[in-house]
Amino acid sequence: MEQLTSWFSESAILSLTSYAVTFCKNILAAILIYLVGKWIIGKIIKLADTLMAKKAVEASLRSFLGSIIKVSLWLILIIAIVSILGIETSSFVALFAGAGMAIGMAMSGTLGNFAGGVMILLFKPYKVGDYIIAQGYEGSVKEIQIFNTVLVTLDNKTIFIPNGGLSTGSLVNVTKQPYRRVDVNFDFAYGTDYEEVRKAIAEIQAACPEIIKEPIDGEPVAAPWQGLANLGESGVTIATRSWCKSTDYFVVAGYMNYNVYQKLRNSGFMFPFNKLDVTIQK
């Protein structure tokens, strides 16, 4: 009996000693993995931030992506350390996967807007200061946020448009190109001397400082043009084409409308308008 008790005691001591040695080894390995992993994570985050800075990624997006990379790497490191300590990791992985799926389903629209914001900030179909037309709205881009783009209209209203629709739908960037063509048409009554009107309009175009007078190499810019565009029901239509800088578009359009009306009206030219003749029979 004493021999059996002694054998059990020795076996227990050996088992405990073996377990303690293995546990200490795992602890040391876990500490080593933690230190090495922490160093690697720091290097990866620094490298990712440097690459995004070279690509001129927006500061807000850079910070957000840096946080995502940091959290993801730390989760991987924690799972690795837990595995080294001998703890079953499949439950942790299943828990993270289930939580990710639940959050994704609950925030599908928000995540879509976030993904759209990332795409916009990366590929830059427009930037702050551009004038865009999208989703039934138009205005100057005041701010590009992670989930929304903020527009300011010409009458100073603020519009928030979700980035999901902006990244997947059609969008017109009015100020993306440096130059724009201003198309303005004018109607005159039948019997108007076309050549006189054309010359008067050409003089108005030549006097406008914002209108580009000569073609520019490498750009689709042409000299000002005037031409007979249409013979309508109550008059003729003379079309004008004027090139200018994109920022001067509304200035040129307003200049043409005002000066053509003022100059030609004072010169005796008639602008047609719809008339209704009523005949009363006795």
Mean pLDDT of the 218-238 span: 89
Q: Rounded to an integer, what distance in angstroms lies between the CA atom of residue 154 and that of residue 14?
A: 84
pLDDT at 5 over 70: no
171 or 271: which leads in pLDDT: 171
pLDDT at 1 over 80: no
Q: Please report the pLDDT score of residue 140 as a whole number.
A: 92
pTM summary value: 0.60
Q: Rounded to an integer, what distance in angstroms lies between the CA atom of residue 259 and that of residue 267?
A: 12
95 or 118: which leads in pLDDT: 118
Report, at the CATH architecture level, how domain 12-106 is classified: Orthogonal Bundle (1.10)
Mean pLDDT of the 223-234 span: 89
DSSP states of 6-66 as a string? HHHHHHHHHHHHHHHHHHHHHHHHHHHHHHHHHHHHHHHHHHHHHHHHHTT--HHHHHHHH
Q: Is 87 helix (H, G, I), strand (E, B) or coil?
A: coil
Poorest-pLDDT segment among 2-11, 33-42, 213-222: 2-11
Q: Show me where the domains of the chain are located.
A: 12-106, 123-173, 179-266
DSSP states of 131-196 as a string? EEEETTEEEEEEEE-SSEEEEE-TT--EEEEEHHHHHHS-EEETTSSSEEEEEEEEEE-TT--HHH
Residue 146 pLDDT level (bands cut at 50, 70, 90):
confident
Q: Is 200 helix (H, G, I), strand (E, B) or coil?
A: helix
State the fold for domain 179-266: Alpha-Beta Plaits (3.30.70)
Per-residue pLDDT of 32-57, as tens digits, reads 888 888 888 888 888 888 887 787 77
238 strand-pairing partners:
186, 228
In 3D space, the residue among 68, 83, 93, 80 whose CA is nearest the CA of residue 38 turns out to be 80
Q: Rounded to an integer, what distance in angstroms lies between the CA atom of residue 251 and that of residue 244?
A: 10
Q: Rounded to an integer, what distance in angstroms lies between the CA atom of residue 149 and that of residue 113?
A: 10
Helix (H) or strand (E) holding 197: helix 194-207
Q: Please report the pLDDT score of residue 76 as a whole number.
A: 82
* Within this chain, domains 12-106 and 179-266 share the same CATH topology: no
Per-residue pLDDT of 78-101, as tens digits, reads 878 877 776 666 666 666 666 666
DSSP states of 212-266 as a string? --S-BTTTTB---EEEEEEE-SSSEEEEEEEEEEGGGHHHHHHHHHHHHHHHHHH
One-letter amino acid for residue 249 of the chain:
Y
Q: Rounded to an integer, what distance in angstroms lies between the CA atom of residue 80 and that of residue 40?
A: 14
Poorest-pLDDT segment among 2-6, 107-111, 255-259: 2-6
Cα four-point dihedral sign 70, 72, 78, 80: negative
In 3D space, the residue among 198, 122, 136, 226 whose CA is nearest the CA of residue 167 turns out to be 122
In 3D space, the residue among 135, 127, 137, 132 whose CA is nearest the CA of residue 165 turns out to be 135
Residue 4 pLDDT level (bands cut at 50, 70, 90):
very low
Q: Please report the pLDDT score of residue 56 as a whole number.
A: 72
Pick the CATH number of 123-173 from 2.30.30.40, 3.50.7.10, 2.30.30.60, 3.40.50.620: 2.30.30.60
Q: Rounded to an integer, what distance in angstroms lies between the CA atom of residue 51 and that of residue 26?
A: 36
Residue 227 pLDDT level (bands cut at 50, 70, 90):
very high
Q: 151 near 132, Cβ under 8 Å?
A: yes
Q: 126 near 132, Cβ under 8 Å?
A: yes
Q: Please report the pLDDT score of residue 244 as a whole number.
A: 94
